[in-house]
Structure 1
Amino acid sequence: MSGSQRTLLGAGALTLALSSLVVLTPSAYAAKPVGSGKGANTEQQGGGDKTGIYAAARIQYSGSVAKDGGTGNVKSADVNWTPPPCWYAPYLGAKDFKKKMSEDLDRQLNSPGMGGTAGSALGQAKRHYEDEFGWEGSPGYKDYNVENDGKGMFWAGVENPNEPDYLKRTSCTDLPFWVENGEAPPPRYEEAIKPEMLAALAYQHMQLPDTKVTLAPEAETKVNLPTWAWLDNAVFDEVQATAAINVPGFNIQATTTAKPVSLKLEPGTEDAETYPASGECVINADDSIGEPYAKGKSDETPPCGVKYLRSSGDGTFKLQATITWEINWTGTGGAGGDLPNGTFGNDQDVTVQEIQSVNR
């Protein structure tokens, strides 16, 4: 897209005038559940009609993902990393695009009071898709490129409904552009959907298992008595989530994998000690964390645990157990790499009684 097109598209008048027809708003691609729980599939972005022609590219989520297409519970350890706020994706074939775009442009051009800068911008957009030449000498699409219907699709901007920043979410505002089947979008469209972006979206929707550690003594311990904590290797394993787009002439996917690497214990009070002192329990060779308490170990220091130095009184302390997950991804064409570590934790109520010693 030429600099004049981007300047024109950046103008407030054109953005307001065309936002309803060139940007797939959240309501147009709200998540539609087709399953739930681990192994569920959720879809975002529109769907298809009885002819099988997609009204918009749909992102299909599968594996361990949040229900109903909502965001998962994994949190990036890198506060500066976020999934893409918007992207460009296949939108409509030429004939369907002509029907929708021409009707929307004519409707807005004929709206009362539509004149001045906004009307001029709409007129230029109309010429861009109807004439062989666009504005100011830039290439256009004669008759909405219908002679190439079935050979490609128009791509358009898509908002990430889970992006809280409105300006970022609505920043993919270039006019819809044509991409031939099997071809990549022009390099200037940096936000065109690609495997690494799907990997980030799979990360955003990934659902991790609850982090409930086994304690000994269980739930109720004593002041100055080491409490052992551990996670069995059968409880925690790799978790995967996949995001994919499959439309005629364009198929990409990415699978994001999370592997637990450590457990962080926070006692819920400053009057406590953790084992080790950092509170960070590393994963063992057999993929377990910590060590189960066994009879005869009462005089030993647990490799992973906590010791409370005062009673919880009539209440409880909230022991927070947070797992750090190492996250990487693989995708179409052999692409892949690392993503920021993720964390997810739960609180557990622990009662601490004022008894100095006990036989175990």
Structure 2
Amino acid sequence: MVRYSGSSKGSGGSKGNVTPVGNWTPPACWYEPRTAEDFEKHVENMYTETVNYPGQHSYAKTAVGQFREMYKDGKYKNYNLDKADEGTWWVAVQDPDRWLEPAAQLCNELPFWVVNGDTPNVPNAVTPEVLAELAYSRLQLPETEVTLAPEDITKVNLPTWAWLDKAKFKEVDVTAQINVGGLNIQATTTAKPIALKLEPGTRDAETYPASGECEINDGSIGEAYAKGKADETPPCGIKYLRSSGDGTFKLRATVTWEITWTGTGNPNPAKLPNGTFGNTQNITVQEIQSVNR
């Protein structure tokens, strides 16, 4: 089975999945190898559980029985256990988070035998590049909550500085690898933050820069506010033009990540589609109070 390590799902401190830019998505299903022993255990366990499940429909028992027969005493003999050193079974696998998607149903080939060294003639059979794409879908990125000055509560027409902690927004990576039978390959997918986009949550606001896109500079996105800069224009920030009243504006901050991979047979970083991850935070904007004498 494909194994993952690094900043992947379930790892401590991770916050969310990367979303690819554009129409590309990582594979929702793929084919990977199983040893003859593992495949036998899988089929026999599936058969036993289905047949012995209380109230199981007869058609399900018939179907699993026919499936078992094909590999035990039909087209193949005893799961090819006598050929265990010569090849592996290749089986379809679905991303458990996307199994309802139409794309997850495209890997519909029944398990098939592949001699060691041969290349399976099916789409999405695991290769270093496919592993890199699977690792892409496992990337977990830090929560995108910008630091603001003023913090949480700002004033109408007052430039609000925004920046990201560069110690928090470092490169993250996930390694996917598989070592079954004669196949031993791996790929590492790396995400590097390159830009921050600010969306104020209202049309009555201006962003710095005007595009709302703050680029990374010397490892930082934006610049931390310091005393004495009140009259300066922030390199990354927002100016709200009206009050949020009794509520708040939902500021959305989205980081764009540049994603590359290296792996077996590919030592130099190769591009994968950029990805984004962001979230919203509540901002209270108040009118500046003045006293007329």
TM-score using structure 2 length: 0.82
The aligned counterpart of 2:240 is 308
* 1:195-217: CA deviation from partner (whole Å, max 9, x where unpaired): 22221221112110111212111
- Rounded to whole Å, the distance in 2 between the matches of 1:253 and 1:169 is 23
- Rounded to whole Å, the distance in 2 between the matches of 1:301 and 1:95 is 63
The aligned counterpart of 1:251 is 184
1:159 aligned to which of 83, 90, 94: 94
* 1:212-263: CA deviation from partner (whole Å, max 9, x where unpaired): 2121111111111111111232221101112222223322221110000001
Aligned residues of 2:89 and 2:112 also touching (Cα < 8 A): yes
Q: CA deviation at 1:184?
A: 3.8
Gapped regions of structure 1 (runs ≥ 5): 1-56, 135-140
The aligned counterpart of 1:191 is 124
Note the 1:99-114 alignment, pairs <5 A: 100=43
The aligned counterpart of 1:137 is none
Higher-strand-fraction structure: 2
- Rounded to whole Å, the distance in 2 between the matches of 1:215 and 1:145 is 63
Aligned length: 280
Aligned residues of 2:15 and 2:142 also touching (Cα < 8 A): no
The aligned counterpart of 1:202 is 135
1:235 aligned to which of 165, 168, 186: 168
* 1:286-318: CA deviation from partner (whole Å, max 9, x where unpaired): 111112222222222111110010111122211
1:77 aligned to which of 21, 26, 32: 21
RMSD of aligned residue pairs (Cα, Å): 3.3
- Rounded to whole Å, the distance in 2 between the matches of 1:250 and 1:230 is 45
- Rounded to whole Å, the distance in 2 between the matches of 1:235 and 1:212 is 11
3-state SS in 1 of match to 2:137: helix
* 1:18-64: CA deviation from partner (whole Å, max 9, x where unpaired): xxxxxxxxxxxxxxxxxxxxxxxxxxxxxxxxxxxxxxx2x222111
Higher-helix-fraction structure: 1
Aligned residues of 1:94 and 1:153 also touching (Cα < 8 A): no
Distance 1:71 1:148, change over 3 A: farther
Distance 1:112 1:273, change over 3 A: closer
Distance 1:190 1:288, change over 3 A: same
Q: CA deviation at 1:98?
A: 9.3
Aligned residues of 1:252 and 1:332 also touching (Cα < 8 A): yes
Aligned residues of 2:71 and 2:78 also touching (Cα < 8 A): no
Q: CA deviation at 1:164?
A: 4.7
Aligned residues of 1:71 and 1:206 also touching (Cα < 8 A): no
Equivalent AA in structure 2 for residue 150 of structure 1: D
- Rounded to whole Å, the distance in 2 between the matches of 1:99 and 1:302 is 60
Equivalent AA in structure 2 for residue 90 of structure 1: P
Aligned residues of 2:91 and 2:111 also touching (Cα < 8 A): yes
3-state SS in 2 of match to 1:67: coil
Q: CA deviation at 1:112?
A: 10
* 1:174-193: CA deviation from partner (whole Å, max 9, x where unpaired): 23222234x1433x222211
Note the 1:85-124 alignment, pairs <5 A: 85-93=28-36, 97=40, 100=43, 122=66
1:347 aligns with 2:291: no
TM-score using structure 1 length: 0.68
- Rounded to whole Å, the distance in 1 between the matches of 2:70 and 2:263 is 39
Aligned residues of 1:224 and 1:356 also touching (Cα < 8 A): no
Distance 1:130 1:94, change over 3 A: farther
- Rounded to whole Å, the distance in 1 between the matches of 2:279 and 2:57 is 56
1:325 aligns with 2:229: no
Q: Using the aligned pairs only, state the percent identity.
A: 58
- Rounded to whole Å, the distance in 1 between the matches of 2:70 and 2:222 is 68
1:214 aligned to which of 144, 147, 156: 147
Distance 1:145 1:275, change over 3 A: same
Distance 1:316 1:130, change over 3 A: same
- Rounded to whole Å, the distance in 1 between the matches of 2:58 and 2:280 is 58
Q: CA deviation at 1:113?
A: 8.0
Most deviating of 223-232 and 293-302: 293-302
Q: CA deviation at 1:160?
A: 2.0
Aligned residues of 2:214 and 2:221 also touching (Cα < 8 A): yes
Distance 1:212 1:96, change over 3 A: closer
Distance 1:221 1:127, change over 3 A: closer
Equivalent AA in structure 1 for residue 185 of structure 2: I
3-state SS in 1 of match to 2:131: helix
